Homo-oligomer: A and B are copies of this chain.
Amino acid sequence: MHFRGIAFGLGLCLAASAALADPQTAAALRDKALADDTAWNLLESLTSEIGPRPAGSPAVARARDWGVAKLNTLGFTNVHVEPFAKTAWLRGTESGEVVGPFPHKLVLLGLGNSPSTPPQGITAEVTVFKSLAELKAAPENCCAGMIVLVNQPMTRTQDITGYATAVAARSAAPEAARRGAVAYLVRSISTSTSRSPHTGAMRPPGLGVKVIPAAALGVPDADLIEHMAARGPVRVHLALQSHTEDTAAWTVSGDIPGSDPKAGIIVIGGHLDSWDPGTGAIDDGAGIAITMAAAKLAAGAHPRRTIRVVMWGSEETGGSSAAYLAAHKKDLGDIVIAGESDLGADNIYSLQLPAGAWDAPDIKPLEAVLAPLKIMASSAPAEEGGSDVEDIHGAGVPVLALNQDASRYFDYHHSQDDTLAIVDPVQLRQNVAAWVATLSVLADSNFNFRKGGK
């Protein structure tokens, strides 16, 4: 017993002499996080007190004030708001129904950046394509005066690849338009069997490309139209109203100051805006709650580097990543690494770091700290840190990726079912535990992520 005690103490001394980072501190913070409900309370507060908060809505301004208040209450410093200009797309009334062979109300959501239909709507026959590839292979004259439906199912995957593959169909209205279509419908980019449609933004079309109204159908509604169309002509009426508005958006930011002001800043966070149908619990209230709770816990161990929690203000319809780069061009060199939590609240299963980082003696021990959480040290270098850090990453800021299990994320994402009801408090805590352990080790490490440690 005594002998083992001595050996243990000796091991600690050796570790301390090799590096500043202390895996025992990280492990203690991890275990504290597993019993901590700060993230849950933040998420319950955001969804219950603010609700859905699309960029450009009055709600997102309330969310901004909520973010400032929570950062102050939790003891963050340098709490401030960075405004930027935003042209918002805002949903109006929307409806759709099959008018023949028999009347049937459809469940749909307009896609972000879709133009409105005429006030009286559009009525036309639907032509169904079972995949985007099938539409792309169709002749130019296939669809004159028709409504195109692309009914391509999405593959369920643990990582983002199922979504990344399927989502192209959400921006394929121009493919339909140049084949003469008057409107575009897409099966929701979703793994759900629910009728709650998944909305999302369409990529702005290229110059000179005709823009037609576009909406996502609930998965069973898309299948139903395909089944109906196999029997004969199906006519659909669509009425989609929306408008754009020149408004403002805001980046909300707060710091856990590091003990060494020259050691640089770790930027983490989530996005404060959400789509409008749900209450934005997993997209991305969870990311805000997880990173804020993790940074707050990390503060207790007095990190050497500053940890900055950022709430980006316009991820869903774009803009906050570019705005963040524009606002921080001058101090970009201070950011040693950045990462975003934006894939829900289910368990993290791997951590990707910049090339070379896992070999650093003061980072290597993090592998053992994360292992009990069932998180792998991924050998693949981090190449994406989240859509809000994309632009600063492009400008040279290294990124990390704590990869969440997305297996059920796309059952709810961008739909009315994105609410607190689908968040598992136990998995939410695992996320906080992973983030705080990672923050603790990276904040105390000497590793230079920009140069592969050189």
Q: Which residues of A contact B (CB under 8 A)?
A: 44, 47-52, 59, 62, 101-102, 104, 107, 193-196, 218-220, 223-224, 227-228, 231, 278-279, 416-417, 419-422
Query: In the bound complex, how far is the Cα of B48 from the Cα of A228, in angstroms?
Result: 6
Report A59 CB to chain B, min CB distance, Å: 7
Query: In the bound complex, how far is the Cα of B196 from the Cα of A62, in angstroms?
Result: 27
Query: In the bound complex, how far is the Cα of B228 from the Cα of A224, in angstroms?
Result: 38
Cβ contact within 8 Å between B224 and A193: no
Residue among A50, A196, A220 with max Cβ neighbours from chain B (10 Å):
A220
Q: What are 8 sample pairs from A and B whose C-beta atoms fall under 8 A apart?
A: A52-B104, A107-B416, A194-B417, A195-B278, A218-B416, A220-B279, A220-B417, A223-B419
Cβ contact within 8 Å between A419 and B104: no
| Known contacts A59-B102, A102-B51; A44 and B227 CB within 8 A of each other | yes
* A104 / chain B contacts, CB cutoff of 8 Å: 51-52
Query: In the bound complex, how far is the Cα of B101 from the Cα of A194, in angstroms?
Result: 30
Report A226 CB to chain B, min CB distance, Å: 9
Cβ contact within 8 Å between B219 and A49: no
Residue in B48, B193, B223, B416 whose beta carbon sits within 8 Å of that of A195 in the complex: B416
Residue among A50, A62, A107, A193 with max Cβ neighbours from chain B (10 Å):
A193
* A278 / chain B contacts, CB cutoff of 8 Å: 195
Residue in B52, B195, B417 whose beta carbon sits within 8 Å of that of A419 in the complex: B195
Cβ contact within 8 Å between B219 and A421: yes
Cβ contact within 8 Å between A193 and B48: no
* A228 / chain B contacts, CB cutoff of 8 Å: 48
Report A154 CB to chain B, min CB distance, Å: 13
* A196 / chain B contacts, CB cutoff of 8 Å: 194-196
* A224 / chain B contacts, CB cutoff of 8 Å: 47-48, 51, 279, 419-420
Report A356 CB to chain B, min CB distance, Å: 42
Report A44 CB to chain B, min CB distance, Å: 6
Query: In the bound complex, how far is the Cα of B422 from the Cα of A152, in angstroms?
Result: 17
Cβ contact within 8 Å between B417 and A195: yes
Residue in B47, B52, B59, B422 whose beta carbon sits within 8 Å of that of A193 in the complex: B422
Residue in B102, B223, B416 whose beta carbon sits within 8 Å of that of A62 in the complex: B102
| Known contacts A59-B102, A220-B419; A49 and B193 CB within 8 A of each other | no
| Known contacts A48-B228, A102-B51, A228-B48; A223 and B421 CB within 8 A of each other | yes
Query: In the bound complex, how far is the Cα of B102 from the Cα of A62, in angstroms?
Result: 10
6 new A-B contacts, CB < 8 A, other than A48-B228, A194-B417, A220-B279, are: A44-B227, A49-B101, A194-B196, A218-B416, A219-B421, A220-B419
